[in-house]
Structures are given as structure tokens and as C-alpha cells.
Amino acid sequence: MTGTIDWIAADWGTTNLRLWAMSGRVPVEARTDPRGMSGLAPGDYGTVLTEATAGWPAVPVIASGMVGSRQGWSEAPYAPVPCPATPRLVPVPGDPGGRPVRIVCGLRQDDPADVMRGEETQIAGLLAAHPKFDGVACLPGTHTKWVRISAEEICNFKSVMTGEIFGLIAGQSVLRHSVEGGECDMPAFLAAVSDALARPERGYGNLFQIRAEGLLGDLPPQIARARLSGTLIGWELAATKPWWLGSDITIIGASSLARLYSEALSAQGLAPRSVSVEDATLAGLSAAYDRFRSEG
């Protein structure tokens, strides 16, 4: 038997919409809809939400992600760090679909300039599960986030474009011929991480050699892919050394990308823990729902 559906959790990102019918903190049904922010006009969101939640009661909706950007449904302004981890919410005017809809605010940092939208909810989830966490959360993705957390506050953060740059080089540059179809060979990956950490500039100068070795020799795609990935993640670890060195690290993510970060950090002598994105997102949206109920 499932419990009563008393609210709806929504992770509404650029490329899709994930929804959970919630009974307290327990998801009783999950749905995925392909209508992400990038394909929608401001007037579309209400209809999409009504269609995507068909059959569920008209209970409050708590949404995080790019839905709150200036180009999204209803802008949820960035909250400045440092700030408490519990998400700040803004209402979508007019209670669309006859129920309250609240969007989680992203975070901003003014110096150095940085922004996030969506990850703050996962961090809130991490802190809901581990209120005493004092360390750094690493959220691998298109723009990987490194977030320093202490005393139940988000202190500061840093975004690195590794995921996006890897996608462009592996998918569209001349290296696409060399890396396509390859898994990632772990020893070659860790060797590239180590080289890039020790001598970042050398790896940059050697990217074209990945292609040339494929043309002149017989470089297996899983080695080529590992070298590209390891070089980029190695640069990122070199750039973020003050964030992870000597820190308690939790990686939020269970994908193959998160595993690469975990292996790379472990090779530097750290012992990162991992939590799943879905668990963290649901816990964060649940914390936001608690705030909504207490604040009205």
C-alpha cells in the first residue's frame, strides 16, 4: 500500500523534468518527462506540469533546477553565499493548476563570480542526512561544482567546465575519431590525471597526439578516451587543490563520471564518499517542503 500523496517533488532541468509523488519523505511514484526548460516558452510550463502530473492530486509542488532561471518559468533569484543550506523558495504567481508551486532559489557568489542552480538542492539533501558534515561536496556534471560546507552553511563554491569541454572535444573535435566507442581504461585514466596534476601544460600540448597516435599507430579508443578524460579531470584537480587537499570529500553522483572523480581523488590519497544524486535531490526537496509548510 502506498501512502497519501501530499506533495510533488520536481527536478526541472534544461533537458528533462523528473517528478515524484511524495508521501512525506517517501516517493510513491516517479515520472520522467522529456520537456526540459530548453524547449519551453514561459507560457508552456503550467500546461506541461498539469499534463505531467495527471492523475495525481492538486497538492503543492516544490521544483528545483533551471526552471527558476531568468529564461525559465518564473525567476527564483540567486541567494548569496554564505547562506544556510536549507533552500530558499519563491512562489510561481497565481498557484497554477490550483495548487501552490514553489521554486528553489539558486546560489550566487560575487567574488570570485560564480552561480549554481539545482545543485543547492542536492547539498541541502546531503546536509539533511548528515547535519554535521564539515568538508567539501563535489558534484560532477556539465559544470562540476566544488562546494565548501561548514556549520550547516554553504560557505563558498567553484564551478569547473570539465564536463562540457569533454563533451565538445570528444564529440566534435578531430579527437572524436580517436575516442568514439571507447570505454575508459582506468590505469590510463589515472596516469593522465597524475600527469595533468604534475604538469598541466604538458597535457594540453599533447592532446593532438591522441589523434596522431591513432592515425600513425593503433591507439585503442578506450586508451584515447581515458587520456582525454584524465587530462581534463587532472587539470580540474590541479585547479581545485585548495578545495580537496586535506578535506572530507563527498561526491554527489553515481554515474560513471562520478566514479572517475572518485578514483582520481582516491589516487591522491583521499577517501571520498559517494551519495546518489536522486537521494540527495529528494532529501533536499523534502527539506524545502518542510520549510514551505513551516513558512506557509
* Cell representation of residue 47: 500546461
Selected from 98, 112, 131, 181, the binder of a second copy by CB under 8 A is: 112
What's the CA gap between 76 and 70, in Å, rounded?
A: 8
158 binds a second copy (CB under 8 A): yes
- Of 102 and 158, which CB lies nearer to a second copy in the complex structure? 158
> Minimum Å distance from CB 61 to a second copy?
26
> Minimum Å distance from CB 105 to a second copy?
14
> Minimum Å distance from CB 129 to a second copy?
28
79 binds a second copy (CB under 8 A): no
Partners of 115 in the β-ladder: 108
The binding track of 58-77 with respect to a second copy, each residue x by CB under 8 A or -, is --------------------
Question: What does the H/E/C string look like for 276-291?
Answer: CHHHHHHHHHHHHHHH
What's the CA gap between 206 and 68, in Å, rounded?
A: 40
Site for a second copy in 163-192 (CB under 8 A): 164-165, 168-169, 172-175
Who contacts 93 (Cβ-Cβ below 8 Å, separation ≥6)?
Answer: 74
- Of 90 and 174, which CB lies nearer to a second copy in the complex structure? 174
Selected from 236, 277, 284, 288, the binder of a second copy by CB under 8 A is: 236
- 250 close to 243: Cβ distance less than 8 angstroms: no
Which of 39-44's residues contact partners 24+ apart within 8 Å by CB, and which partners? 40/73, 42/72, 42/73, 42/74
Q: At 39, is the secondary structure helix, strand, or coil?
A: helix
What's the CA gap between 63 and 61, in Å, rounded?
A: 6
Selected from 21, 52, 104, 160, the binder of a second copy by CB under 8 A is: 160
Stretch that binds a second copy, among 19-27, 213-221, 273-281, 284-292 (CB under 8 A): 213-221
240 binds a second copy (CB under 8 A): yes
Stretch that binds a second copy, among 35-43, 157-165, 185-193, 272-280 (CB under 8 A): 157-165
235 binds a second copy (CB under 8 A): yes
- Strand pairing class (249-252; 273-275): parallel
Is-cis flag, bond preceding 200, omega within 30? no
- Of 70 and 132, which CB lies nearer to a second copy in the complex structure? 70
What's the CA gap between 278 and 265, in Å, rounded?
A: 22
Backbone angles phi and psi of 247, in degrees to 5: -100, 160
> Roughly what angle, to the nearest 10 degrees, separates helices 119-129 and 277-295?
90
208 binds a second copy (CB under 8 A): yes
Selected from 213, 248, 279, 290, the binder of a second copy by CB under 8 A is: 213
In the complex, the residues that contact a second copy under the rule CB under 8 A are 78, 108-110, 112-115, 143, 158-161, 164-165, 168-169, 172-175, 200-202, 204-209, 212-213, 215-217, 235-236, 238-241
